[in-house]
Amino acid sequence: MRTMPTKAATSVAYLGPQGTFSHAAAIAFFEQHPRSNTEGWLMRSSANIEDVFASVEAGDSLFGVVPVENSTEGAVNNTQDCLLTTSTLIVGEIIIPIVHNLLGREGLTRDKVHTIASHKQSLAQCRGWLSRNFPHAVLRECASNAQAAELTLSEEGMAAIAGEFAAQTYGLDMLSCSIQDHSHNRTRFLIIAAGGSGEERENEVEKSLGLLAAHNGGSKQSRDRKTSILVATDNKPGALFRILEPFNTLQIDLSKIEARPSKLRAWEYVFFIDFIVSGTERGDHDIEQKLFALLKPRTTSLRILGSYPPTLPTKAENGSAPSLAAPTDASK
């Protein structure tokens, strides 16, 4: 008799409500990594980024999808802080184009708009357009752009900044299209899983996703790997140079470094670092071990956040609505 999977074993938590870019990213990523059975993935909406992490850590969801950085506005601090304070692992990533639209309920016209609501990142990504077109409008921050879209259904004179997916989800009209200040606007999302027994846990989630089969035609002999680490160092001259020097020595592609307050003491910082290693699986492991051996004596702490294939192509082009055929959605 086949054992039916639990909801937690098939669930993906995302920053909700339905219709957010996080929702679109979750669907786009997990459409590329279908389950081996017919049940599909169960999408679970979370009220905020902290709740996504909590759902994964508590075992209520197997995976979580959270935004980590935007190409024009930079890091998503809440996500970085949760990576700093939880034991979750990064097991994947996806980058999707972010196209913002001004949305309103049926019958609303631009001249009747007095309040514009959205997530603070979305408002920031459209600040130039808003200044030119709605200089006197009240800007209202919401937990997500989809929440803003939902609010427009009940509040007179309110418009929302959100994507086409949100417009379709809530039946809203597009008052203005593609209003982001930069056409190359992109957001990177992380796929997270609960931390456990190191490599054993990473192998488990990698098997669940079928990442190896989706990357390089299923070959384990040649693949790129992105690794994310968190390091802390003494606050003294040359500390950052000593951290970066091993990457140069080993000719490792450093794709990102960003400082964030440690939350332990004033003016003490930690560094989030992403790097990419190309080559065979064995070669990846060897060069990473050499890197960590060089880094450890130069840092006060070193934590591996995860190792995963670099960004995969996405179907969520131009912020459009992805297919909803495979995953299903559940209330939190």
Mean per-residue pLDDT for 300-322?
Answer: 69
For the segment 184-202, what is each residue's pLDDT rounded down to a tens digit? 889 999 999 987 655 555 5
Write down the pTM of the prediction. 0.82
Beta partners for 254? Answer: 275
Q: What is the mean pLDDT of the chain?
A: 83
Give the whole-angstrom CA distance, residue 261 versus residue 303: 16
Mean per-residue pLDDT for 163-169?
Answer: 93
Mean per-residue pLDDT for 5-19?
Answer: 80
> Residue 237 — pLDDT band, cuts 50, 70, 90?
confident
For the segment 216-230, what is each residue's pLDDT rounded down to a tens digit? 344 444 468 899 999
289: Cβ contacts below 8 Å, ≥ 6 apart: none
pLDDT over 90 (residue 283): no
pLDDT over 80 (residue 40): no
> Residue 49: its pLDDT value, please?
94
Helix residue spans in the chain (DSSP H)? 21-31, 49-57, 77-85, 120-125, 127-133, 145-151, 164-170, 199-209, 211-214, 239-249, 281-295
Give the whole-angstrom CA distance, residue 43 versus residue 301: 35
First to last CA, the chain: 30
> Residue 206: its pLDDT value, please?
55
Burial of 124 (0-12, 13-18, 19+ CB in 10 A): middle
> Residue 327: its pLDDT value, please?
43
Give the whole-angstrom CA distance, residue 257 versus residue 276: 12
> Residue 311 — pLDDT band, cuts 50, 70, 90?
confident
Measured at the CA of 97, the angle between CA 75 and CA 139, to 5 degrees, comes to 65
Least confident of 76-80, 256-260, 279-283: 279-283
> Residue 21 — pLDDT band, cuts 50, 70, 90?
very high
207: Cβ contacts below 8 Å, ≥ 6 apart: none
**Length of the chain, in residues:** 332
Element containing residue 253 per DSSP (H, E): strand 253-261
> Residue 214: its pLDDT value, please?
44
Mean per-residue pLDDT for 120-137?
Answer: 96
> Residue 35: its pLDDT value, please?
67
> Residue 266: its pLDDT value, please?
79
For the segment 48-71, what is each residue's pLDDT rounded down to a tens digit? 999 999 999 998 999 999 999 999
Ordered domains of the chain (ranges, CATH)? 8-96+185-209+311-330 (3.40.190.10), 101-176 (3.40.190.10), 224-308 (3.30.70.260)
